[in-house]
Chain A
Amino acid sequence: MRRLLILTVLLALAAGCVLDLHSNGIVDIFGSLFEVLDPSTESVQQPL
């Protein structure tokens, strides 16, 4: 019974993945994490 429950939870994640892909699209899913990561560059100039 417990094994069935574990498998159901894990397969529900797969279903969540499919639903998310269907409603938001792969570009949005990938982009969202990079948006939160928010990479930025800080530069310091020094005369030679």
Chain B
Amino acid sequence: MRAFAALLRKELRQHGPTALAFAGVLIAWAIVLYNFKERWDDLIPPLLILPMGFTPLWFLWRAYQSLRAEWSGRHAHLLLALPVPGWYLTLSKFLVLLLEVGLYAAVHAGAIYLVAVHDDLRHFSSPYLSDSVGNAFIRATLWTAFRTVLLLVPHGILILAAAYGIIHVSWLASRLLPLSRGRRIVSVLILAGLGWMMWRGAWLLGLALSWLPRIPVAQGMWIEGRSADALWLIHSTVTVAAGPVVGLLLLTAALYAAGSWLLEREVEL
């Protein structure tokens, strides 16, 4: 376990400063938007969402780079010589990348709250609700939104873990080619094949595991009604079948085992 912690620290030292610098840029961007929100009224939603769109692309690029950098920086012989299982390397890289993406997601969430929600909540008023009921409703709505985030986070981590595993294994498998020529195209082909296998595999396992109970993924709360006398509080929950989710989890675990095996036994410098 100490070896795993040492690998984690190495990854954090390597990528921490860049991640903090990017988070700083995102925070500065949120502050700019907050100060110009009156003037840029219509432009605020796209300008707020724009950096969020880049985060998944950044994750995929960093997943690809995390292994490539070891080989191009000629540190790979050190990594391969370490007396640790291959999954230590894979998991430490993935966890640090997850931490980085989590940091960006937290900054994005804070920015959305600051720019789009904070002031509206302070000046909230409704002709139908008294101030105390209105405030209680807002608190309940925010709590529901928070619970939705909590429900979605494990699914998001699973999807990122699957994407990381696919990129990791396709890159490692392309190193099995004896010549460096053609490795990139082989890597892309394997990437497509593994992506397809995971998608179709989750579908097949979803059919096989259809007996599993449904799981909640999001919750919502709002008020409906036409007059102050006839108001309804609607509490709604979105659920999905657990089968495909469990299927994807099993396939991802298998992919990490395969990546670990390739790293320990087959891949060379």
Residues of A within 8 A of B (CB): 2-3, 6-7, 10-17, 20, 29-30, 32-33, 36-48
Residues of B within 8 A of A (CB): 133, 170, 173, 176-177, 186, 189-190, 192-197, 199-200, 202-203, 206-207, 210, 214, 217, 223, 225, 231-241, 243-245, 262, 266
A16 and B193 contacting across the interface, CB-CB below 8 Å:
yes
Select one of A16, A33, A43 contacting B234, CB under 8 A: A43
Select one of A13, A33, A44 contacting B202, CB under 8 A: A33
A20 and B196 contacting across the interface, CB-CB below 8 Å:
yes
Chain B residue nearest to A35 (CB atoms) is B203
Chain B residue nearest to A12 (CB atoms) is B193
Cα A48 to Cα B195 in complex, Å, equals: 48
Residues of B within 8 A of A48 (CB): 133, 223, 225, 231-233
Main secondary structure of the interface of B (DSSP, over half): helix
Q: Of A10, A33, A38, A45, which is in contact with the most chain B CB atoms at under 10 Å from its CB?
A: A10
B196 and A16 contacting across the interface, CB-CB below 8 Å:
yes
Residues of B within 8 A of A16 (CB): 193, 196-197
Besides the known contacts A16-B193, A16-B197, A38-B240, 12 further A-B residue pairs in the complex with CB atoms under 8 A apart: A7-B173, A10-B170, A13-B190, A14-B192, A17-B197, A37-B206, A39-B239, A40-B239, A41-B239, A42-B237, A45-B233, A45-B234
Q: How far is the CB of B252 from chain A (nearest CB, A)?
A: 15
